[in-house]
């Protein structure tokens, strides 16, 4: 069986009503139309399984690859834990309008209610219009009754923590944290493999049929952490040619790597696949004696677990997010 290679997948586009055109104009993706809200870069979500875009494995689904290559693709401990289910979902999100205020369940609640994984996630801001903001958690500890009062009166935003954002900002969103992305923001989202969202407030919006989108008020009540007052924004300092840790949680570790010279990354002690998300510039990725591959802004690539060393060569200066399962 031929050896594995760095894998790119065909994007899965989502035409939600709050999307725009930045996935094409800023990230160079061939979107199917307007609006396009999300590009699912690597997905093992049932019904939305990623398919390999190039190489001798072109046309194979991610799930098929895990079935065949098992630990060589994802890492032995990850295969033992998750089987053929790929544990992470990687997205680009273009918020041309405000997204709903929402919350996600944890693993236990999701398993009982939906026979699925929970949803802990993080955001890395790529672009932000002047004054654009997002919501993450509460300004102060609130009671369930106070929350319901503001929800019923359409004043929920008054008790939410609002953060103006800029490129490079990072937010960690554990399950149970109420949140919402504001208009004018382009970001990448790294999360557990789950598509379970409890929408609690949608700004009075209606769909193309003129109907309000469904809300999940009751389901959300048992999930929301009403004492969640932060910290919300991750504080970090980028360093050239050395990775900087942004988020570490039981589900994923994400590091930022800014490079203006060749950087070699060794994964001999890591029993996991590695995902690179290119957020600026471009890189050539060398591995073994094989033909190198190129990664440009807006692209995502999966480095199989059996590849234990890669050399990253930036064209000028560029930035990658490096993601793996600890």
**Are residues 140 and 278 part of one domain?**
no
Q: Which of 81, 113, 140, 199 is catalytic?
A: 199
How many beta carbons lie within 10 A of that of residue 147, not counting itself? 20
Instruction: Report yes or no on 103 lying in a domain.
Output: yes
> What are the pLDDT digits (tens) for 47-99?
999 999 999 999 999 999 999 999 999 999 999 999 999 999 999 999 999 99
Instruction: Please say if 162 is a catalytic residue.
Output: no
> What are the pLDDT digits (tens) for 222-270?
999 999 998 899 999 999 999 999 999 999 999 999 999 999 999 999 9
Among 221, 252, 285, give the residue marking a domain's end: 221
Q: Residue 39's domain spans which residues?
A: 12-221
> What are the pLDDT digits (tens) for 125-168?
999 999 999 999 999 999 999 999 999 999 999 999 999 999 99
Strand bridging mode 88-95 / 300-303: unpaired
Length of the chain, please? 326
Among 188, 221, 254, give the residue marking a domain's end: 221
Token output for 325: 């399962």
Instruction: Report yes or no on 46 lying in a domain.
Output: yes
Which pLDDT score, from 0 to 100, does residue 1 have? 63
Specify the pTM. Answer: 0.96
The tally of CA atoms less than 13 A away on the side-chain side of residue 161 is 21
Q: What is the CATH number of the domain that holds 17?
A: 2.60.120.10
3-class SS of residue 315 = coil
**Are residues 97 and 16 part of one domain?**
yes
**Mean pLDDT (whole number) for 22-47:** 96
**Are residues 57 and 98 part of one domain?**
yes
Instruction: Report yes or no on 206 lying in a domain.
Output: yes
Which pLDDT score, from 0 to 100, does residue 208 have? 78
DSSP string, 64-118: HHHHHHTHHHH-HHHHHHHTTS--EEEEEEEESSPPPEEE---HHHHHHHHSS--
């Amino acid at each position: 069986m031929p050896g594995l290679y760095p894998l790119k997948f065909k994007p899965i586009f989502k035409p939600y009503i709050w999307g725009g055109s930045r996935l094409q104009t800023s990230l160079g993706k061939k979107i199917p139309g307007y609006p396009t809200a999300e590009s699912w870069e690597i997905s093992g979500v049932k019904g939305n399984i990623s398919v390999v875009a190039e190489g001798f494995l072109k046309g194979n689904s991610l799930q098929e690859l895990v079935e065949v290559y098992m630990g060589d693709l994802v890492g032995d401990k990850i295969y033992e834990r998750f089987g053929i289910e790929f544990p992470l979902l990687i997205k680009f999100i273009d918020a041309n309008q405000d997204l709903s205020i929402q919350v996600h369940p944890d693993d236990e609640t999701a398993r009982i209610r939906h026979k699925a994984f929970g949803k802990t996630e993080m955001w890395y801001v790529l672009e932000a219009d002047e004054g654009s903001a997002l919501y993450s958690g509460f300004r102060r500890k609130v009671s369930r009754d106070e929350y319901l009062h503001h929800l019923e009166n359409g004043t929920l935003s008054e008790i939410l923590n609002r953060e103006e954002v800029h490129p490079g900002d990072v937010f960690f969103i554990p399950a149970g944290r109420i949140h919402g992305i504001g208009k004018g923001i382009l970001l990448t989202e790294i999360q557990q493999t789950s598509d379970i969202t409890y929408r609690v407030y949608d700004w009075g919006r209606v769909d193309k049929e003129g109907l309000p989108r469904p809300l999940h008020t009751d389901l959300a009540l048992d999930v929301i952490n009403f004492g969640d007052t932060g910290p919300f924004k991750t504080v970090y300092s980028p360093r050239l040619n050395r990775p900087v840790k942004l988020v570490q949680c039981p589900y994923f570790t994400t590091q930022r790597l800014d490079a203006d010279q060749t950087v070699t990354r060794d994964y001999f002690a890591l029993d996991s696949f590695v995902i690179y998300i290119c957020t600026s510039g471009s890189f050539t990725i060398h591995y073994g004696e094989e033909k190198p591959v190129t990664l440009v802004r807006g692209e995502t690539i999966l480095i199989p677990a059996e590849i234990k060393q890669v050399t990253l060569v930036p064209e000028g200066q560029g930035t990658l997010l490096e993601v793996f399962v600890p």
